[in-house]
Chain A
Amino acid sequence: MEPSIYQSELNLEATELRLGLPGRTNNKRSSPEDRSMSISISKNSSVDSSGPSNATDHDDDDDDHQNSVQPAKVQVVGWPPVRSFRRNSMQQQKQKKDEHNNNNGDGSAMYVKVSMAGAPYLRKIDLNIYNSYSQLLNALQNLFKCSFGEYSEREGYNGSEYAPTYEDKDGDWMLVGDVPWDMFTCSCKRLRIVKGSEAKGLASL
């Protein structure tokens, strides 16, 4: 018995609570944001190779949990095996198509550079393909193979080895998660993953 049929009959989507701009929800399901870059969330919260009975087909409610900053859910990195070049291209295309169809949103891709203390190479990511902090943080953690731990307003990413920071329009360095998501995407110029100790100073501001 497929769980999905049951869910679609109940039309859970209509009654879901979401954060985010109105009109964005339409894109969420069909858009590639939740898929590629490895986000596949299992009900068992573990990448468990010990048996087929534990496997899920898919999860329609994974979306609800992604609107607030949360510690990384376990996800399957690199599955299915599609190269990032291809994934990125498809994302860009879907982006353009959505813009073309919806005529809303900020339009073009919003690429920002991401650097990490100690890593020799920069990466660039398109902020527009993420709809929430948790998606962005998951992607960053995967990209740089690091972990941020839990975010709290008071203490930032206290206790974790790394923390994500960003430079805003005014040139100030802030902790990722301090401002509402939409304000963040508008003002973020670039990202930098710093050591947890370095981030402490930012959190206390």
Chain B
Amino acid sequence: MTHSGSSLPDLPNCTSTAAPMSEIRSPPPDRVLEIVLENVLHFLTCRRDRNAASLVCRSWCRAEALTRSDLFIGNCYAVSPHRATSRFRRVRSLTVKGKPRFADFDLLPLNWGAHFSPWGSALADAYPWLEKLHLKRMSLTDDDLNLIARSFPSFKELVLVCCEGFGIAGIAAVAANCRLLRVLDLVESVVEDADEDEEVMDWISCFPDGETHLESLVFECVECPVNFEALERLVARSPYLKKLRLNHYVSIPQLYRLMHRAPQLTHLGTGSFCASDDVAVGDQELDYSSAFAACKSLVCLSGFRDILPDYLPAIYPACANLTSLNLSYADVNADQLKPVILQCHKLQTLWVLDSICDEGLQAVAATCKDLRELRVFPGNTREEAEGPVSEVGLEVISQGCRKLQSILFFCQRMTNAAVIAMSKNCPDLVVFRLCIIGRYRPDPETHEPMDDGFGAIVMNCKKLTRLAVSGLLTDQAFRYIGMYGKLLRTLSVAFAGDSDQGLKYVLEGCPNLQKLEIRDSPFGDAALHSGLHHFYNMRFLWMSTCKLTRQGCQEIARALPHLALEVIDSQEDKADDHIEILYMYRSLDRPRNDAPKCVTILQ
């Protein structure tokens, strides 16, 4: 079959002047199939399906590229903006992820990269019709936000997660210029505020007058006061607003007023959930529970940033309908939690602080039979012997919440028995992340390593795709992972393993591994070498404070030309040959030219 040569197919039209009458309105035969294909491919939404379709043949690749409207770039350096925009010509929604996850824990130098600017200019040129932009761990400036605000007249959705480098001025530009804006979500991003000499910019007032299209406004991470009157007016003129997450400068009486203005809310981040400083508790108390009763559609509650536990009962009216509750900034104990949680029968997602203790977890297990996701965060991150939650809590959760799919659990002590129990009671687990805060800590009852516990998880949880390990672990744990973790895509390792063999087990055994992050573990060049067959299939590999040498990395770089190996070393003169950080990822384009001095990219 012949294919048309141009990359941008035109609308069907007659090309031959000698064509018989009946063919004047039909496209040339080789174009028919492409048009049919494009129409069919429009229905493909899942990007993995699209990736597979694009590999069938050139014409499928072209057709798929033209019909992909949601583009996902998992690593901003894997492909240049130009290459991406040249291949995919009709993108309306773009997601770009930048820094590796360990950047969240201060392991990456400040100015490492993931700058949005080159993407910004490419997008402004290629996709004037762009509607949605989701960025995660990217570095973007106020100028970038200005560019976004002015380049895309149909812009509807901006979601920034764990981003930094911009300030209030940038947000204000988006608010002021994106008239069709539906979603403005700033999540765990660092927003630089203005100099002390200048006044804090009132970005809320920058939204245009009149009814807005806002459906979601999330600004919990914006660390400066907002103009409350302007916010109240904004909420009042946003009839479509369903998600509102406030920062901790909004007090509970202010929250009360907002809720009465927006009873249609489904997702609410409550701000500080305490009285502002100038009002003493008990003065003219409003009936806050009436606000929660008024918002009959609430399914997701979060915030509680400076909570006064006395106010917690106000949320009772909403509990029965809640599917998601985030109390992870609220220092509440078991007794304060119980009356709330005992009403939350429909809860599917719960994030809490370990202040609730094992007893609080017991209450969760007793009531939340539908729980899918649980995260228990540490109130105190010191490596102590005692902690408020333990294997007791984990076991009780595993018995009560059989449908559990995702767990993140910080604790100071954990036993193999409890982990094994969870592996058996919760077969649906997709994500298992256990962080025993004390490094190298063995099972406190048996004094054994935690190998068997994690072994049971990979063995019994057949749907597991994400795993984070901790505690005292030998190579045996990795042997289990390599043997049973066949669906594993993401693995996080810290302070674990005995020798190169540990990493070898994983690299040789886990065919679906895409993201591997390792810190402070004794894996060296030989171990890294054993993954050569697999590295092109991975999004990235991170190894810091391991036993890699520059030599070893150089060999990998030579063997695999499309791999970018970034060696990050903050000190120049070192006693030994070991490198500090290796961040390695596949890339279709030349190594980036925006790296700081401490980064060397091996080729």
A interface list, Cβ under 8 A from B = 2, 4, 32, 34-36, 38, 40, 47, 49-50, 52, 54-58, 76-87, 89-90, 92-93, 96-97, 119-123, 142-147
Per the bound structure, the CA–CA distance linking A78 and B377 in Å amounts to 15
Are A121 and B111 in touch, CB under 8 angstroms? yes
Q: Determine whether B4 belongs to the interface, using a CB cutoff of 8 Å to chain A.
A: no
In addition to A36-B381, A50-B522, A80-B381, 15 A-B residue pairs with Cβ atoms within 8 Å of each other are A34-B382, A35-B380, A38-B106, A49-B521, A49-B545, A54-B440, A77-B105, A78-B105, A83-B104, A85-B188, A87-B381, A89-B329, A90-B379, A119-B110, A145-B570
Quick one: which of B107, B378, B571 contacts A80, CB cutoff 8 A?
Answer: B378
Quick one: which of A77, A87, A121 contacts B110, CB cutoff 8 A?
Answer: A121
Per the bound structure, the CA–CA distance linking A76 and B109 in Å amounts to 15
Which residues of chain A are within 8 angstroms of B478 by Cβ–Cβ distance?
Answer: none
Q: Which 9 A-B pairs have the closest CB atoms?
A: A78-B105, A55-B440, A35-B382, A52-B440, A35-B381, A85-B188, A145-B109, A83-B104, A80-B437
Which residues of chain A are within 8 angstroms of B106 by Cβ–Cβ distance?
Answer: 38, 77-78, 84, 142-143
Q: Supply 19 A–B pairs (Cβ within 8 Å), ascending by A.
A: A47-B520, A49-B495, A49-B520, A55-B472, A56-B383, A57-B384, A58-B383, A78-B105, A78-B107, A83-B104, A85-B188, A85-B190, A89-B305, A93-B329, A97-B331, A121-B165, A122-B192, A144-B110, A146-B570
Quick one: which of B102, B305, B331 contacts A78, CB cutoff 8 A?
Answer: B102
Are A145 and B110 in touch, CB under 8 angstroms? yes
Residue of B nearest to A39 (CB): B382
| Number of interchain pairs (Cβ within 8 Å) | 118
Which residues of chain B are within 8 angstroms of A78 by Cβ–Cβ distance?
Answer: 102, 105-107, 519
Per the bound structure, the CA–CA distance linking A83 and B381 in Å amounts to 12
Q: Determine whether B401 belongs to the interface, using a CB cutoff of 8 Å to chain A.
A: no
Which residues of chain A are within 8 angstroms of B441 by Cβ–Cβ distance?
Answer: 55, 57
Per the bound structure, the CA–CA distance linking A52 and B438 in Å amounts to 11
Per the bound structure, the CA–CA distance linking A106 and B519 in Å amounts to 39
Which residues of chain A are within 8 angstroms of B379 by Cβ–Cβ distance?
Answer: 90
Known: A82-B377, A83-B105, A145-B110. A57 touches B383 (CB 8 A): yes
Per the bound structure, the CA–CA distance linking A201 and B205 in Å amounts to 47
Q: Determine whether B435 belongs to the interface, using a CB cutoff of 8 Å to chain A.
A: yes
Which residues of chain A are within 8 angstroms of B475 by Cβ–Cβ distance?
Answer: none
Are A58 and B438 in touch, CB under 8 angstroms? yes
Residue of B nearest to A121 (CB): B165
Closest Cβ–Cβ distance, residue B545 to chain A (whole Å):
7
Q: Determine whether B598 belongs to the interface, using a CB cutoff of 8 Å to chain A.
A: yes
Residue of B nearest to A111 (CB): B223
Which residues of chain B are within 8 angstroms of A119 by Cβ–Cβ distance?
Answer: 110-111
Are B472 and A52 in touch, CB under 8 angstroms? yes
Are A80 and B410 in touch, CB under 8 angstroms? yes
Which residues of chain B are within 8 angstroms of A2 by Cβ–Cβ distance?
Answer: 385
Are B598 and A145 in touch, CB under 8 angstroms? yes
Which residues of chain B are within 8 angstroms of A92 by Cβ–Cβ distance?
Answer: 306
Q: Determine whether B315 belongs to the interface, using a CB cutoff of 8 Å to chain A.
A: no
What is the interface size of chain B, counting residues whose CB is below 8 A from a CB of the partner?
A: 52
Pick the most buried of B435, B437, B472: most chain A CB atoms within 10 A of its CB: B437
Q: Determine whether B439 belongs to the interface, using a CB cutoff of 8 Å to chain A.
A: yes
Per the bound structure, the CA–CA distance linking A47 and B192 in Å amounts to 33
Are A83 and B545 in touch, CB under 8 angstroms? no
Residue of A nearest to B109 (CB): A145
B interface list, Cβ under 8 A from A = 102, 104-107, 109-111, 162, 164-165, 188, 190, 192, 221, 248, 305-306, 328-329, 331, 377-385, 410, 435, 437-442, 449, 472, 492, 494-495, 519-522, 545-546, 570-571, 598
Per the bound structure, the CA–CA distance linking A120 and B165 in Å amounts to 9
Residue of B nearest to A56 (CB): B383
Quick one: which of B188, B382, B435 contacts A58, CB cutoff 8 A?
Answer: B382
Are B380 and A32 in touch, CB under 8 angstroms? yes
Per the bound structure, the CA–CA distance linking A79 and B435 in Å amounts to 10
Closest Cβ–Cβ distance, residue B36 to chain A (whole Å):
48
Closest Cβ–Cβ distance, residue B451 to chain A (whole Å):
12
Closest Cβ–Cβ distance, residue B441 to chain A (whole Å):
7
Which residues of chain B are within 8 angstroms of A96 by Cβ–Cβ distance?
Answer: 306
Residue of B nearest to A36 (CB): B381
Which residues of chain B are within 8 angstroms of A77 by Cβ–Cβ distance?
Answer: 105-107
Which residues of chain B are within 8 angstroms of A146 by Cβ–Cβ distance?
Answer: 570
Interface of B is mostly: loop
Per the bound structure, the CA–CA distance linking A40 and B520 in Å amounts to 14
Quick one: which of A50, A54, A121, A143 contacts B164, CB cutoff 8 A?
Answer: A121
Per the bound structure, the CA–CA distance linking A81 and B164 in Å amounts to 19
Closest Cβ–Cβ distance, residue A198 to chain B (whole Å):
18
Which residues of chain B are within 8 angstroms of A86 by Cβ–Cβ distance?
Answer: 328-329, 377
Are A57 and B305 in touch, CB under 8 angstroms? no
Which residues of chain A are within 8 angstroms of B248 by Cβ–Cβ distance?
Answer: 89
Which residues of chain A are within 8 angstroms of B378 by Cβ–Cβ distance?
Answer: 80, 82
Closest Cβ–Cβ distance, residue A163 to chain B (whole Å):
17
Per the bound structure, the CA–CA distance linking A193 and B599 in Å amounts to 21
Closest Cβ–Cβ distance, residue A94 to chain B (whole Å):
8
Per the bound structure, the CA–CA distance linking A86 and B328 in Å amounts to 9
Per the bound structure, the CA–CA distance linking A99 and B442 in Å amounts to 38
Quick one: which of A38, A50, A57 contacts B438, CB cutoff 8 A?
Answer: A57
Per the bound structure, the CA–CA distance linking A144 and B441 in Å amounts to 30
Closest Cβ–Cβ distance, residue B594 to chain A (whole Å):
11
Residue of B nearest to A97 (CB): B331
Are B377 and A58 in touch, CB under 8 angstroms? no
Per the bound structure, the CA–CA distance linking A106 and B221 in Å amounts to 25
Per the bound structure, the CA–CA distance linking A84 and B492 in Å amounts to 19
Closest Cβ–Cβ distance, residue B513 to chain A (whole Å):
19
Quick one: which of B221, B385, B437, B442 contacts A52, CB cutoff 8 A?
Answer: B442
Closest Cβ–Cβ distance, residue A77 to chain B (whole Å):
6
Closest Cβ–Cβ distance, residue B392 to chain A (whole Å):
19
Per the bound structure, the CA–CA distance linking A170 and B532 in Å amounts to 60
Known: A79-B494, A145-B109. A85 touches B331 (CB 8 A): no
Are A93 and B385 in touch, CB under 8 angstroms? no
Per the bound structure, the CA–CA distance linking A49 and B496 in Å amounts to 7
Per the bound structure, the CA–CA distance linking A145 and B571 in Å amounts to 9
Closest Cβ–Cβ distance, residue B211 to chain A (whole Å):
33
Pick the most buried of A40, A76, A145: most chain B CB atoms within 10 A of its CB: A145
Per the bound structure, the CA–CA distance linking A87 and B449 in Å amounts to 29
Per the bound structure, the CA–CA distance linking A123 and B377 in Å amounts to 25
Per the bound structure, the CA–CA distance linking A47 and B383 in Å amounts to 14
Per the bound structure, the CA–CA distance linking A90 and B355 in Å amounts to 12
Which residues of chain B are within 8 angstroms of A147 by Cβ–Cβ distance?
Answer: 571
Which residues of chain A are within 8 angstroms of B495 by Cβ–Cβ distance?
Answer: 49, 79
Which residues of chain B are within 8 angstroms of A123 by Cβ–Cβ distance?
Answer: 110
Residue of B nearest to A142 (CB): B106
Quick one: which of A34, A54, A79, A84 contacts B104, CB cutoff 8 A?
Answer: A84
Closest Cβ–Cβ distance, residue B345 to chain A (whole Å):
28
Which residues of chain B are within 8 angstroms of A58 by Cβ–Cβ distance?
Answer: 382-385, 438
Residue of A nearest to B494 (CB): A79
Which residues of chain A are within 8 angstroms of B545 by Cβ–Cβ distance?
Answer: 47, 49
Per the bound structure, the CA–CA distance linking A119 and B522 in Å amounts to 32
Per the bound structure, the CA–CA distance linking A69 and B381 in Å amounts to 24
Pick the most buried of B102, B383, B438, B495: most chain A CB atoms within 10 A of its CB: B383
Per the bound structure, the CA–CA distance linking A89 and B188 in Å amounts to 11
Closest Cβ–Cβ distance, residue A122 to chain B (whole Å):
6
